[in-house]
């Protein structure tokens, strides 16, 4: 099973074996990772699942939808590697992915 590593806002790392097909948001919530909320349940309408995704994996990530781009415009400290974790589903090609969670969600 592939592994994803979340780094919470306090700097603690959470390495999780992640089932393929599950979203990064849901995986983090399932394991009680601090710093991510997922208030809308993963339908890209709250932006409380913001994370900074390791740029080394950029080519393996799905492109941002127009809705994701729109929602990201409202997050504090938007960066080039900002993504909404509900819009990325785990897959073998993402094994070892690291996701830094921001100091604050929306």
Contact positions vs ligand FES (CB under 6 A): 25, 38-40, 42, 44-49, 71, 84, 86
Question: In the complex with ligand FES, which residue's Cβ is closer, 13 or 39?
Answer: 39
Rounded to whole angstroms, the Cα distance separating 20 from 93 reads 10
Rounded to a whole number of angstroms, the minimum distance from the CB of residue 16 to ligand FES is: 17
Three-state SS sequence of 76-88 = CCCCCCEEEHHHC
Give the nearer residue to ligand FES in terms of CB position, either 5 or 40. Answer: 40
Q: Where are the alpha helices (DSSP H) in the chain?
A: 24-30, 66-72
Task: Tell me how far the alpha carbon of residue 63 is from its chain's centroid.
Answer: 14
Choose between 42 and 102: whose C-beta lies nearer to ligand FES: 42
Closest separation between CB of residue 13 and ligand FES, Å?
A: 22
Could you give the maximum distance between any two Cα atoms of the chain, in Å? 34
CB of 55 to ligand FES, least distance (A): 20
């Amino acid at each position: 099973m592939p592994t994803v590593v979340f780094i919470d806002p306090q700097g603690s790392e959470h390495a999780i074996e992640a089932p393929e097909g599950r979203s990064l948001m849901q995986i983090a919530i399932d394991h009680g990772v601090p710093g991510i909320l997922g208030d809308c349940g993963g339908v890209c309408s709250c932006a409380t699942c913001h994370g900074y995704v390791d740029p080394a994996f950029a080519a393996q990530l799905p492109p941002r939808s127009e809705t994701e781009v729109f929602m990201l415009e409202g997050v504090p400290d938007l960066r080039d590697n900002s993504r909404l974790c509900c819009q990325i589903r785990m897959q073998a090609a993402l094994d070892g992915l690291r996701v830094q969670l921001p100091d604050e969600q929306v």
